Structure 1
Amino acid sequence: MQLISIVVPCYNEQESLPLFYKRVEQIMTEFNRHRDQFQWEYWFVNDGSSDESLKQMQYLHAANPEGVHYVNFSRNFGKEAALLAGLKAAQGDLVAVMDVDLQDPPELLPTMIETLIETDYDVVATKRSDRTGEPWLRSKLSQAFYHVINHISQVQIVPGARDYRLMRRQVVQAIIDMPEYNRFSKGIFSWVGFKTKYLSFHHQDRVAGKTHWSMRQLLDYSLEGIMDYSEVPLAIASWLGGLSFVGAILGMLWIVFRALLFGNPTAGWPSLVAIILMLGGLQLLCLGILGKYVGRIYLETKHRPQYLIKEQR
């Protein structure tokens, strides 16, 4: 009898929770009807929700205390922290990570389970084959992100990859053992390696509620991923500094050459101000890039916990 753990980070998902649980229960019960070789448990992680998400988790736990568990954070720590807490709490031989809004189709779970028990794959992951219904700008920025990070990083992330995946215990332990405070799950999943098979599915709309990811949050998350797995931004800052230096030398040579040939007429101040502002802007840009990396080092050296648990059942 194998145990399957289903880890579900939640933030203000009171409407989605009962719908998610009902649908997954139907699919898993039907899948196990003629097998009777699997048990499954849920680990819902309440990431500081301000709605009734925790009460929904408590209700589900009371109805099925052996199969439904929850972790309640002391405040909102973010999805990455919720994902880590769920993985640490899960006890299953196989561990699935899913979104509660049903944009990750639970109908793929039987195929994912069969793949792991019948093959030597360590992970069955998923990716979206299209972005139908997603805003045009968000879709283009997402494509640009995958293009950039796969060109500047040694870690390759499959375009359209989701956090939705089923992993063997060895893979889960490898992810938990990575101690960094700043976590980017898509990069971590790729970095740990292991033999992975990807399943494609069409874009699914949320079953209830609205997305909690704003455009700014997605951009910040993308920048975090790039800085976590690439030093190229630092190299760009160095190159900008070098090019500015070379440009200044060429400019000085041109001034000397012009003075020797045509005299030294008084030049207008607007061009001088423009050059000063340009060089000052480049310096601030390079300092900003360096500061981002230093800030991340600062957070790592504090050794703060990624989250604090108020209640776990």
Structure 2
Amino acid sequence: MKTLSIIVPCYEEEDALPLFYPAVKKVLDTMKDIKPEFWFVNDGSSDNTLAEMKKLHKANPDEAHYISFSRNFGKESALYAGLQASTGDYVVVMDADLQDPPKFLPEMVKYLESGKYDCVGTRRVDRKGEAKIKSFFSNAFYGFINHISKTQIVSGARDFRMMTRQMVNAVLSMKEYSRFSKGIFSWVGFKTKYLDYHNVERVAGKSDWSTLQLFKYAFSGIADFSQAPLNIAVWLGGVSSILSIIGLIVVLVRHIINPASAVFGWASTISIILLIGGLQLLCIGIIGRYIGKIFLQVKNRPIYIVKEKA
């Protein structure tokens, strides 16, 4: 009998957890050759998420386990903590809001047991129910990062995926402080099968991902798996330097040909200075983001801190 570990990162999910557990259990009960273990990770929730986890653990002490952080460390840290705690032959990551359909679990196990795949992921073929602007930027992000990075990420891919123990160990071997799991799952390789499905709305609660947070997460992914921003900074600096040299030559030639020519174009000169200054600040900012990631990594702080675990 194979053991299946279900990793569930949770933040403010007190309403969703009572619905999530029975929905997944209903599917697992049909899988006679699978022994499940749940790992709920409380990512510093301020509501009753931890209390709901404790209820599940008390009712199912051998099956439902929980980890509670000392504060909010982010979903990536919660996912990593769950993977570290898992002991199953197969490990699946799911959201508590049931946007990841439990009905796929038997099919996922079937693909892994065939030996042809090391991972079975899922991807949404549409974003019905989401804001159009968010869908637009999401699609643009996937197109952009796949264009500038050697690590290809499937458009619409979810964190909802089932992996073999070998792949989980490979993911855990990557101990970087700044984590972008979609990129990590792709970077470690292994044969992956994707299952398509239409978007499912949350059963309870609301998403804690704002547009600004998604932008920050997207930039983090780009910086973690591509040096393109640094290359852009180099090109901007090079082009600015060349244009400056050309401008200097034009001024010198003009002075030689007509020394008495009047000085003009004060406003355009100031505009050019401001433009070049802005480009310099942009390039310094890009470099600073990469240096900041290095700074956080070399301090070797823990990815998360556990307050309670059962």
Q: TM-score, normalised by structure 1?
A: 0.97
One-letter code of the match for 1:283? Q
- Give the structure 2 partner of residue 38 of structure 1: 34
Between the aligned partners of 2:103 and 2:269, the Cα distance in structure 1 is 65
1:26 corresponds to: 26
CA distance in 1, matches of 2:3, 2:92: 11
- What letter matches 2:165 in structure 1? R
**Residue equivalent to 2:82:** 86
Which of these residues, 253, 261, 264, is aligned with residue 261 of structure 2?
264
* 1:276 Cα deviation after fit: 0.9
In structure 2, how many angstroms separate the alpha carbons of the residues matched to 1:272 and 1:264?
A: 17
| Aligned equivalents of 1:19, 1:261: Cα separation in 2 | 83
Tell me if structure 1 keeps the 8 A contact 2:28–2:34: no
Distance 1:282 1:118 in 2: 54
Q: Within 5 A, what are the aligned runs for 1:127-206?
A: 127-206=123-202
- C-alpha distance after superposition, 1:238-285 (max 9, x if no partner): 110000000001111222333344542121421121111011101101
1:297 aligns with 2:275: no
Corresponding residue of 1:281: 278
Distance in 1 between the 2:171 and 2:255 partners? 64
Q: For the residues of structure 1 that align with 2:269 and 2:241, how far apart are their CA atoms? A: 16
1:15 and 2:15 matched: yes
The residue aligned with 2:5 is 5
Deviations 1:210-237 (A, max 9, x none): 1100000000000000000011111110
Provide, for residues 40-79 of structure 1, a one-character-per-residue CA deviation record: whole Å limited to 9, x for no partner. Answer: 0100000000000000000000000001000000000000
Once the two structures are TM-superposed, the CA of residue 27 in structure 1 deviates from its matched residue by: 1.1
Q: Distance in 1 between matches of 2:206 and 2:265?
A: 55
- 2-structure distance, mates of 1:144, 1:258: 46
Q: Structure 1, residues 282-303: CA drift from partner, whole Å, max 9, x if none?
A: 1101100000000000000000
Tell me the TM-score normalised to structure 2 length: 0.98
Structure 2 distance, partners of 1:264, 1:277, is: 25
1-side partners of 2:79 and 2:240: how far apart?
44
For 1:220, the equivalent position in structure 2 comes to 216
Q: Give the distance between the partners of 1:86 and 1:9, measured in 2 at CA.
A: 8
Superposed CA RMSD in Å reads 1.0
In structure 1, C-alpha distance between the alignment counterparts of 2:115 and 2:227, rounded to whole Å? 37
The corresponding residue for 1:122 is: 118
Amino acid at match of 1:286: C
Amino acid in the other structure paired with 1:158: V
Q: Deviations over 1:197-216 (max 9, x none)?
A: 00000001011111100000
Once the two structures are superposed, residues 103-144 of structure 1 have per-residue CA deviations (whole angstroms, 9 ceiling, x without a partner) of: 111111111111111242100000001111211111111111
Which blocks of at least 5 consecutive residues in structure 1 are unaligned? none
